Amino acid sequence: MSIPLLGEKFPEIEVLTTHGRLKLPDEYKGKWFVLFSHPADFTPVCTTEFVAFQKRYDEFKKLNCELIGLSIDQVFAHIKWVEWIKKELDVEIQFPVIADDTGKVAEKLGLIHPAKGTNTVRAVFIVDADSNIRAVIYYPQELGRNMDEILRAVKALQISDANGVAMPANWPNNELVGDAVIIPPATSEKEAKERLEKARTGEISCYDWWFCYKPVE
């Protein structure tokens, strides 16, 4: 079975979660969502990740983006773990967590990598409001994720869509263009000349006709 690829629709799956049964991606129709898998409940790195995601949940929601976790634990384990996090760490996990004790969802999404064991790896799927998969990131079990990077990716993809631009490395702190965005390269000689003319008048900035950038609108 092939795993979902960038640009494809997120597969239709009915899942059991800590918030009841949900149908994906229909549950988040018109919204972005981040589905992330973790190796197991009641483990230290995963606990730090859940707390980190929850601390940024409001920031994700401001971007019209929801969160949903997943592991191959049973739902009662998720519930008890979420209760433990609330009691011991004073953090209430407000997003749902998928219970995939049969492993069917993990198999469909390519979350179990046999060379890394039988638990789900730390995968991240960023899905847009049209249910298209926009980014997929895999981390090994021993490496906790950077949630600020995932939040940055969602924001950057939304700006890219809204403005028809590309986003530079480390945006919004790029070493060459700062918080500016990249204008797609010219596709004709005429357009290339027009780009350079716009650069001369200060309408945009360019290192060359194929490397132009501008502030976020």
CA atoms 51, 56, 58, 60: torsion sign: negative
How far is C-alpha 58 from the chain's CA centre? 15
Cα distance between residue 32 and residue 59, in whole Å: 13
Whether 212 is catalytic is: no
Q: What is the pLDDT of residue 213?
A: 96
The two three-digit tokens of residue 46, written as one number: 């995963």
Q: What is the pLDDT of residue 20?
A: 95
Which residue(s) pair with 183 in the sheet?
A: 212
Q: What is the pLDDT of residue 3?
A: 85
pTM of the model: 0.94
In 106-180, at which residue ranges do the beta strands (DSSP E only) sit?
122-127, 133-139
Neighbours of 167 (CB within 10 A): 20
Q: What is the pLDDT of residue 112?
A: 86
Residue in 46, 65, 206, 212 annotated catalytic: 46
Per-residue pLDDT of the chain (217 residues; tens, 9 = 90+): 578 999 999 999 999 999 999 999 999 999 999 999 999 999 999 999 999 999 999 999 999 999 999 999 899 999 999 999 999 999 999 999 999 988 899 999 998 898 888 889 899 999 999 999 999 999 999 999 999 999 999 999 999 999 999 999 999 999 999 999 999 989 999 999 999 999 999 999 999 999 999 999 7
What is the chain's percent helix, strand, coil content, to nearest 5?
35, 25, 40
Domains of the chain, CATH where assigned = 13-162 (3.40.30.10), 164-217 (3.30.1020.10)
Q: What is the pLDDT of residue 118?
A: 84
